[in-house]
Amino acid sequence: MKARLSRWLGNARSMLVYLLGGSLWVRAVRDGTAGALLRAVLKPPRNGRRVAVRRGGEGSVRVGLIGFGRQAASILWPAMRQVSSLRLVAVGVRRERVATPAGLGLPDDVALTRGHEAVLNRTDVEAVIIATPTSLHEMLTREALRRGKHVFCEVPGIVTGARGLRLARWAEGADLRVQYDFRFHHAPPYGQLLRRGRDWRAEGRPVVLDVEGSERLHLYTLVLGLSEGPCRVQCEERSANGAKYTIETDDGVRMIYREHRSPRVEKAHLRSGERLLSLESGSELSEVRGEGVATLWRYDGGDDLLKLPEDFRAENGIPGSAYLHARGFIPGLRSFADAVQRGERPACDIVFAARAQTLYRDLVRSRWRAS
């Protein structure tokens, strides 16, 4: 009886492995991952050999966009159109549901190709923007670097801190820019908070950043803009509405991060002694100066900044340029073009993305410990 049961369990396990393995391979062949893996084994990486890499210089950066789903159509392409230092030359889509660039709302001179390979192999493409599902980001980043292309990719880009650091080491000799876009670092009010925080730190002052909001992947990483050191995380409170974390760095930065379920809440305060910068409703950044208050930045999009994402999801509309600017999409793409043109390291590079993933893991663990 025992032997029969263990034989039956063994057969069931093998069947599960075959089924799972089979369906994973069918998916991998279909989305091009299998081909990329085979090439990686047969052809070891030779970073940056396929095209001449730009080391600074004038003129727009020629871009290939990989994936044209919801994010690319409603955010990235509308934002790219506002960045004159980027020029879209090719778009790779997985399925050929739409045969013409015009069908996707693209100019006629943009080449529409099938899959990522055709985009990566073009010699007129200097940089790629990856807008595929997250599971493909790391593989596509490696493929792009192998072919000498700079990479822009939205978060998360990588899945764990350890994998990110391995990728960073692998990419080290390539002399190519990789930007993982933690867009709030480029969003004007948060960019100002970070710059002011760095100035205060340079004066030797302790800094406290108190942030409340729902866009956690972008918001908790703000602490990484103020310190390059390791972070200690503690979950202080949990409730149905979210959680409160304290993040501290060895070199004197303290961040209180109030993760909130409601997308209508967004506040940030940066303090150092008597000095204070406040961002209310994500829409107005002000500074307390002695007895008075000075406005440093105000959202001029006319509508409620924090209401737009919900409407835009519901209607699948395209947000206006004031929104794309305020939320960091346009400045993020512009900073990528600058990094490529000037040959400089982007603010949010692979190492930064690896630190963000490690911080995320620590946040999740501290949440478990608090429960």
Ligand X SMILES: NC(=O)c1ccc[n+]([C@@H]2O[C@H](COP(=O)([O-])OP(=O)(O)OC[C@H]3O[C@@H](n4cnc5c(N)ncnc54)[C@H](OP(=O)(O)O)[C@@H]3O)[C@@H](O)[C@H]2O)c1
Give the number of residues in contact with ligand X, rule: CB under 6 A.
22
User: Among residues 153 and 277, whose Cβ is nearest to ligand X?
Assistant: 153
| Residue 175 three-state SS | coil
Could you tell me the smallest distance in angstroms from the CB atom of residue 200 to ligand X? 29
Near ligand X in 27-86, by CB under 6 A: 31-32, 66-72
Identity of the residue, 180 or 200, whose beta carbon is nearer to ligand X in the bound complex: 180
Q: Where are the alpha helices (DSSP H) in 257-301?
A: none
Which one, 94 or 196, has the nearer CB to ligand X? 94
Cβ proximity to ligand X, 217 vs 276, nearer residue: 217
Among 54, 88, 126, 132, binds ligand X (CB under 6 A): 132
Q: How many alpha carbons lie under 13 Å from residue 315 in its C-beta half-sphere?
A: 9
Least distance between ligand X and beta carbon 179 (Å)? 12
Provide, rounded to whole angstroms, the least separation between the CB of residue 202 and ligand X: 30
Do the Cβ atoms of 90 and 113 come closer than 8 Å?
Answer: yes
- Which x/- pattern over 90-129 shows residues binding ligand X (rule: CB under 6 A)? --xxxx-------------------xx-------------
C-alpha torsion sign, points 80, 81, 87, 92? positive
Min dist CB 176 to ligand X, Å, is 19
CA distance 165 to 175: 16
- What residue is closest to ligand X based on CB? 69
Shorter beta-carbon distance to ligand X: residue 87 or 183: 183
Residues 162-201 that bind ligand X (CB under 6 A): 183
What is the H or E stretch that residue 31 is in? Answer: helix 2-31
- Pick the closer one to ligand X by CB: 31 or 138: 31
> Does 134 help bind ligand X (rule: CB under 6 A)?
yes
Give 32 or 196: the residue with its C-beta nearer to ligand X: 32
> Which uninterrupted H or E stretch holds 34?
helix 33-42
DSSP string, 302-354: SS-TTTHHHHHHHHT----HHHHHHTTHHHHHHHHHHHHHHT---SS-HHHHH
Q: Is 333 exposed, middle or buried (0-12, 13-18, 19+ CB in 10 A)?
A: buried
Task: Give kind and range of the element (H or E) at residue 213.
Answer: strand 207-213
Instruction: Work out how close the CB of 187 gets to ligand X at its nearest, in angstroms, rounded to a whole number.
Output: 11
Query: What element of type H or E holds 138?
Result: helix 137-146
Interaction site with ligand X (CB under 6 A): 31-32, 66-72, 92-95, 115-116, 131-134, 136, 154, 183
